[in-house]
């Protein structure tokens, strides 16, 4: 299983990432990124992309709709293949996050995983 997906499922948080280090799961907070523009229709320069295009520091990047990970490239698709409903949810969540900031490390104590098994960066 993907370590980030596992950590997000265990801690019930989307604003973290993780990696396996030996038999440990290293969990760290995601950095908040402010985009100058979000292309909600998936269209950039007359091309449509699978992932949500965003503008950041004069570059076009792409946000995966489920993992929220930022990528440098995305598959080009036809205009009828976009998933706008999921993207609207992402944009709405971003708006809520900017209004109501929360502590990064407020997850409840995990009883079935020992403290030695989790390493916070």
- Tokens representing 23 are 């038999």
pLDDT digit string, tens, across residues 92-108: 565 555 444 444 445 55
3 membership: H or E segment, kind and range: helix 3-11
Q: Let me know the angle formed at the C-alpha of 110 by 19 and 4, rounded to the nearest 5 degrees.
A: 20
Characterize 91-107 residue by residue with b for buried, 16 or more Cβ atoms within 10 angstroms of its Cβ, and e for exposed.
eeebeeeeeeeeeeeee
> Smallest Cα–Cα separation from 68: which of 1, 11, 111, 5?
5
* pTM (two decimals): 0.59
- List the domain boundaries for the chain: 3-120
pLDDT tens digits, one per residue of 34-89: 889 999 888 899 999 989 899 999 999 998 877 778 889 999 988 777 666 556 66
């Amino acid at each position: 299983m993907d370590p980030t997906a596992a950590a997000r499922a265990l801690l019930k948080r989307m604003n973290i990432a993780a990696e396996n280090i030996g038999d440990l799961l290293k969990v760290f907070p995601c950095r908040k990124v402010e985009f100058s523009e979000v292309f909600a229709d998936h269209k950039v320069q007359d091309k449509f992309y699978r992932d949500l295009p965003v503008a950041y520091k004069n570059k076009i990047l792409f946000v995966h709709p489920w993992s929220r990970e930022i990528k440098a490239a995305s598959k080009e698709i036809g205009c009828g293949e976009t998933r706008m409903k999921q993207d609207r949810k992402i944009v709405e969540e971003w708006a809520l996050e900017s209004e109501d900031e929360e502590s990064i490390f407020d997850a409840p104590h995990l009883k079935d995983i020992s403290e030695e098994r989790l390493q916070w960066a």
